[in-house]
Amino acid sequence: QVQLVESGGGSVQAGGSMTLSCTISKYIYSAHCMGWFRQPPGKEREGVAAVQTSTGATFYADSVKGRFTISHDNAENTVYLQMSSLKPEDTAMYFCAAGSEAYCFGSNWRYGMEYWGQGTLVTISS
């Protein structure tokens, strides 16, 4: 069974930084699309960023471009989300997800994820 385990959430003041980590228990495909999604309180889940593990190509939501960086370490089966210049509107439950790399292009990365973590809460205070 594939498991994704997130870590690194917590509370920080606006303008601060935080890094989330997600480790996948095993790879299902030869290459993956791994991403981060978030669900703010009372709102729908939205895609934040994704990375194509074979090429390192990255994709971002417009709301986080220039502030967030997604990266991955294949040797450690881990994907990271470095967040800076955090805003109160970044407050959300953040979820790690993984799927086939076939979906890792354009905006398709938002729709092709098959496996999900339990989530980690990020709270940004003003």
Q: How confident is the model at residue 27 (pLDDT cuts 50, 70, 90)?
A: confident
DSSP for residue 64: T
Tokens 């980690």 belong to which residue?
A: 120
Q: Are strands 10-13 and 120-125 parallel, antiparallel or unpaired?
A: parallel
DSSP string, 33-50: EEEEEEE-TTS--EEEEE
Structure-model confidence comparison of residues 104 and 69, the more confident one = 69
Tokens 């979820």 belong to which residue?
A: 95
Burial class (CB in 10 A: 0-12, 13-18, 19+), 44: exposed
In the three-class reduction of DSSP (H, G, I as helix; E, B as strand; rest coil), residue 28 is classed as coil
Q: What is the pLDDT of residues 45-96, one digit of tens each?
A: 999 999 999 999 999 999 999 999 999 998 888 999 999 999 999 999 999 9
